Every structure is written in C-alpha cells, then in structure tokens.
Amino acid sequence: MSVVQPQDGITVVTGEDLRPLLSKAGLQLSEKLLEDYTTLLSGLEGAIASLPDDTSFLPKPDLSKYPRTDINIPSPEESDGGGWATRVTARCTSPKSDLLKGRTVALKDNMAFAGVRCTNGTSMVEWVPEIDATIATWIMDAGGIIIGKAACENSCLEGMSATSVTGPVQNPFADGYNAGGSSSGSGRLVATGSVDMAIGCDQGGSIRIPASECGIVGLKPTWGLVPYTGILSLDAHLDHAGPMTRNVRDCALLLEVIAGPDGWDDRQPPFGLEGDRLKYVEHVDAVVAKDGARMLEGVKVGVLKEGFDIPGINADVAQTVKAAVKKLESLGAAVSEVSVPQHKIAPTVWTGALPLAGGRQAILGDMDGRKQLHFTDRAAKLDAQLTQAQFDALGPGASNMYMGYLWVQEKHGAKLQGKCMNLIKSISDAYDKALQEFDVLVMPTLPTPPPRLPEPGALGTTEGPLKFLSRSIGMIANTCPFDNSGHPALSLPVGFVPAVEDAEVKLPTAMQIVGRKYQDVNCLKVAAAWEKAFDWKTL
C-alpha cells in the first residue's frame, strides 16, 4: 500500500489505540515497529479526514423536475392485501419520451426513492434515501407515474410472503396463500390491477416466484442489462432488477425503458448496450402479427430435462407446464428435450456462494470491491457485526443467512467462495452450450403450487425458522441457477393447479423461458406468441 505523507505535528493514532487491535488480530510488534506503524496509520487517518464530501456526486433528484407528493403509509385496509408499503405520487414535469405516458408503476421497497422510506422489508435499519435509483428516474423520464413502494420480504431473503415488516402479502387468487417473494408486493399489485407495472429484483427467483404465484409476467433480465444503481444489494454477482407486468408486451415496454448503461453500475459494459439492441416492443409486435401457426416458425425450443426432474415436483404443475410446452409446437416451434446435468448442482452452488458475500453486502451493507454507487448514509447505521436488536429484526431467511455468514467466515473463508465462483462459470458454460443448439430453454418456473402462509402471529412464537423455511424447500431449484449464470429468464403464467392443502383452491402456475445472454428478446417473443394464442386462465 502506498504511503500518504503524515501531517506534521499531528499524531492521531497512538500505541494505546493500536495494541488492542494487534491483540485481537493475534499479532505482536516490537516497540520500534509499533512507533513506525502509529506514524503511518496517523497518515492514513489524516488522509481519511481530508477526503472531500462525496454527496455532491450522488444522483440526487431535482425535485422541481421530479416532484413527489402524497407520501403516506397506507393502513392495512388500504394496502391491497399487504401489497403496498408506502404510497407516493411522483412524475417528471418534462419527460424525455411518452413510452410509459400515464402508466402507473410501483417500485420494490429495496429501491432508493428520495424522501420516501426504504424498509427493505425489515426494521433492522430505518432509512429515508436522498437519491433515486437510476431506473426510477428513467421510468419518470418515459412519462411513467410512480405511485408507491411495493412491499418486499424481510431483507429480500424470503420466498414466502409472510415476513415483511409491513405485514403479510396475500395471494391475489386466494387469501392465506403465498404471493411469492421477495418481490411479493410487486406481484400482487400488478395482479390486482392496483398498478399497471412494477419493478422487482431477483437474486434467487424474487421476480419469477411472485410472478408465477400471482399469475403475471416477470422477467429476470440478463445480468448487467438493467442498472442496479440505487438498489439495495443481496450479492452483486446475483443482483438483477426487472419488469413485472400483466402481459408480455408491457414487459417488453418496461424493459425497453429500464435497460442500458447508466455510467455507475460496474457490471455494465461501457459499449454495445445501445440503439437497436435495446428495442424489444417492435420484435414482440412483429411476432404476434403473424398467423398463429407461423408465429414461432424457425424457433428451436429445448425442454430442459432436469427442470422436470426436481425432487418433490408437483404432478399437476409438471403436467400443466408440459401441456403448455406442447402448445409451442402448434405455433411453429421445433420442440425437443435437452439435458444439462449441471442444472441439478446449481442450487447447491448458489447456496454455498451466498453466505460470505451476501452477509457482507445484504446484511452489513459492505460493497467492498464494487465500482458503483454506495449507500454511505445507510452503511453508517451498521457496524462490522449486527447488534442483538438488529439480528432480532431479521426474518427467518435473513437470520439464517447471517448465521451462515458467521459460520462460513470462521470455518471456510474465501476458499469456499472461490470454489463456488469457479463452479458457477462451469454451470453457465453448460447452459451456453445448450443454447447454441436452442433459441430458448423451457421448464416449470416453480416445482409446486403456492403454499399456505403461516397463521398470523405464528412466526417467531410457535413457529421457528426451521419450520418456516421448510415451506420453501426446493422452491428455487429452477430459478436460482439463472441468477448465478446471468441468463435472462421469464416466467409466463400457463394455467391453474390445485393447492396442495385444498384441491378446491386453484392457484396459478407458470412456464419459465430462458434465453441466451443479452438475447432477452427471444424470451419475450416466445412468451408473446404463446400468450397471443392461448388464454391461461381458461386452460
């Protein structure tokens, strides 16, 4: 490390300051070395003290151009079954386009929106951002009206919609059943028509799980296609933000608005993501304008064998999705089975890769090594470890990950993280190889119907994390692999299936369509053709 000239006559760090740190680190220094390092560290402290203010560089909104009014926390009766976390009305006074003119949009409650609380689904940190997420600005620039923050699950680490600090989110087709997580509010609000569109975020399936369970379209875009700037991270190698809508064309439209580089997010290439490559709606329109049997002419669809071989997969789900896949043939697609054996180990690799980086980034707010916007005001409210009160504010999934972080940090360290990253590359390569032969891969989004939510008040009293998390075992088997690999993956509703607990209750299920990286348009085209030809609610 280079040395900064110490400030003359000023000693900031003393031997008394340094000795406890050395003891904690298991190090011993001679008095001469101690004297040298106190001087050097004093120089470091002087450099830190002289740093200029960073807040002048942050994307704070011009509130005269992007005014926001009517900020309020809705009552339970006004929350649309728990879907809303906070209400607001915000628009641009001079939009750059009318792509979203008059369309209402909800932001997931892990996104920064200046002046509006951002709970991230937890009471662990109280935070009102001073900046706007990039894509929030782009939505308003396109004429969209942001009307609130959608509830999200605790720390964005749950597939069940029962852990948010703002309350449980009900399935739009049956109260008492899961709406999916962690973008639970986004899924419900779109499904009920409370909002035209919503933004979700996806690290293990958090767009596609609620999309499947709420009967809407949800796209996890290619990793890096949509800037994640101004959104709370779970793990930068997994973070994706994307559209959640009632139909495929709206999904393409919202993606067109939010895709592209913003100059902040270090996962985005500085060139190549512009112009026609970011046009999606015209391709969707061109496909659905064709005759039914020709809409997918020339498209090769690979049915992922391992996507149907998940332990415990529900027979009704498998049958419904296979029937939906079969219908692609009637639209002109060439459909055949493909095997990617690495798909089966991908969830295990995802599990191993998450605790170390996710504990630092998601729980402790430490984005070390990332060249992107950092929430320094929120990070100032956290330390190198959680207090008891902060830990107690976590949901079952978040507390389980924090425990995993402590364990992995102590017992495995960087070697486990490195091993998982290497395996992720091999898994991603395997999907790439299959996608050389096929335009898209298809499989069920989720292996089972939406489960029942726990009884109100049970979580944390009669029900501990083990019982709660057992409800979602296997849920992300088909979703998390593509967070790891970065391929685009779209969830399309294809029918209803009976609830496991009550066959009289019918709940949505979905087909997942996976494409080549940066070829999100192929997922949209296949989904649009199927949607145009078939009404999933009547099948």
Q: Which residues are catalytic?
A: 108, 182, 206
23-34 burial string, b = 16+ CB within 10 Å, else e? eeeeeeeeeeeb
Q: Is 85 exposed, middle or buried (0-12, 13-18, 19+ CB in 10 A)?
A: buried
Amino acid symbol at 181: G
Look at the block and give the residue holding tokens 């984005």: 367
Rounded CA gap, 94 and 114, in Å? 19
Report which DSSP code applies to 52.
Answer: P
Spatial contact of 329 and 295, defined as CB atoms under 8 Å apart: no
Per-residue tokens: 152: 């999200």
- Torsion angle of the four alpha carbons 299, 305, 306, 312, in this order, in degrees rounded to the nearest 10: 120
Distance CA 504, CA 60 (A): 51
State how far the alpha carbon of 134 is from the alpha carbons of 312, 372, 412, in Å.
40, 12, 36
β-pairing, 241-245 vs 197-201, is antiparallel
Backbone angles phi, psi at 494, to 5 degrees: -130, 5
Do the beta carbons of residue 172 and residue 192 sit within 8 Å? yes
Q: Considering just the CA atoms, what is the radius of gyration of the chain in Å?
A: 24
Q: Is residue 223 within 8 Å of 266, Cβ to Cβ?
A: no
Contact 100, 179 (CB under 8 A): no
User: Residue 54 gets which letter from DSSP?
Assistant: S
Burial label, 98 (beta-carbon count in 10 A; 0-12, 13-18, 19+): exposed
CA distances from 196 to 30, 186, 250 (A): 67, 10, 9
**Residue 96: count of CB within 10 angstroms of its CB:** 11
Nearest-angstrom CA–CA distance, 191 and 185: 10
Q: In terms of C-beta density within 10 A (0-12 exposed, 13-18 middle, 19 or more buried), how is residue 500 classed? A: middle
CA separation for the pair 205, 159 (Å, rounded): 8
Backbone angles phi, psi at 70, to 5 degrees: 55, 40
CA dihedral 131, 136, 139, 145 (to 10 degrees): -90
Is residue 118 a contact partner of residue 232, using CB atoms and an 8 Å limit?
Answer: yes
The sign one gets for the Cα dihedral 134, 244, 435, 351 is: positive
Q: Which amino acid is at 41?
A: L
Residue 186 in contact with residue 198, Cβ under 8 Å?
A: yes
